[in-house]
């Protein structure tokens, strides 16, 4: 049985381009052009994956994503001309699994869809059993590095005694890295701590969580002292002042 992809895109030429590329790759594709129709179609016949434009008429893509995510774990790839970090966070916070900015290359879109579907099939278990993210490595109850304190037992983070509010995903990443200071984690390794309830998560989500954590724990997010990028590999939590 063919994999079914629903495309919600109000630009009809772009929607047709996406449809042709997906059909050429062997997918069954339906196309809709407004938010209310997208919501209705996804409810009437749940797709294996939804390609969702942000700026849809009727209901915008964010609202469609929010409503669907309240009742479904179907993979959602959001398309948008909006490319700021805050926009990216809004889409991911509402439950989008991946995010592509316009203009985009159709073949890259198809590759992203293929990856999300693989993750969805890999993480999906029996209907009554949810996939559980791995626990962070064993570490001291309280770990302090250069003024950054991670209290694993109480799920608290402090920067020089200032409390920091972290999302569950952010805390799982930070506590895993705090358990092994200076260890370099690949995006794929950090991704394991974000997989939740059988829903696929893109590696780009890791980057967004790191960016968001830097805003919260770094004095200068553009010149981080704690969460450092190891180019070509991933990230590490530094045990000293090793700015990047």
Q: Is the confidence at residue 52, as pLDDT, over 70? A: yes
Kindly state the average pLDDT of the residues 188-217: 76
pLDDT reported for residue 168 = 77
Residue 130's pLDDT band, with cuts at 50, 70 and 90, is: very low
- Spatial separation of the C-alpha atoms in residues 150 and 175, rounded to whole Å: 7
Residue 15's pLDDT band, with cuts at 50, 70 and 90, is: very high
Kindly state the average pLDDT of the residues 162-184: 86
Give me the chain's average pLDDT, please. 81
Residue 182's pLDDT band, with cuts at 50, 70 and 90, is: confident
Q: Is the confidence at residue 131, as pLDDT, over 80? A: no
pLDDT reported for residue 32 = 97
Kindly state the average pLDDT of the residues 203-220: 85
pLDDT reported for residue 221 = 87
Q: Is the confidence at residue 127, as pLDDT, over 50? A: no
Q: What percent of the chain has pLDDT over 70?
A: 79
Give the ranges where the chain is alpha helix by DSSP (H): 12-24, 35-44, 61-69, 85-93, 106-123, 168-178, 187-191, 203-217
pLDDT reported for residue 50 = 96
- Spatial separation of the C-alpha atoms in residues 225 and 57, rounded to whole Å: 43
Question: In this structure, what is the dihedral angle of CA atoms 7, 69, 202, 124, given to the nearest 10 degrees?
Answer: -100
Q: What percent of the chain has pLDDT over 90?
A: 30
């Amino acid at each position: 049985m063919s994999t079914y992809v629903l495309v919600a895109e109000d630009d009809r030429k772009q929607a047709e381009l996406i449809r042709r590329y997906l059909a050429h790759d062997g997918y069954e594709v339906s196309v809709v052009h407004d938010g209310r129709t997208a919501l209705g179609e996804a409810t009437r016949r749940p797709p294996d994956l939804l390609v969702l434009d942000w700026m849809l008429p009727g209901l915008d893509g964010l609202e469609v994503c929010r409503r669907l995510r309240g009742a479904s774990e179907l993979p959602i790839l959001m398309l948008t001309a909006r490319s700021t970090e805050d926009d990216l966070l809004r889409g991911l916070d509402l439950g989008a699994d991946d995010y592509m900015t316009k203009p985009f290359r159709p073949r890259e879109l198809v590759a992203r869809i293929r990856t999300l579907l693989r993750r969805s099939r890999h993480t999906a278990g029996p209907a009554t059993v949810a996939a559980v993210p791995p626990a962070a490595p064993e570490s001291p109850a309280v770990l302090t590095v250069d003024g950054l304190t991670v209290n694993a037992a109480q799920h608290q983070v402090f920067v020089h005694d200032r409390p920091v509010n972290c999302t569950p995903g952010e805390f799982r990443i930070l506590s895993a890295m705090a358990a092994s200071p200076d260890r370099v984690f690949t995006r794929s390794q950090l991704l394991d701590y974000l997989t939740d309830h059988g829903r696929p998560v893109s590696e780009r989500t890791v980057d967004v969580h790191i960016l968001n954590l830097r805003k919260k724990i770094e004095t200068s997010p553009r010149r981080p002292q704690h969460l450092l990028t190891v180019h070509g590999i991933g990230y590490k939590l530094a045990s000293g002042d090793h700015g990047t």
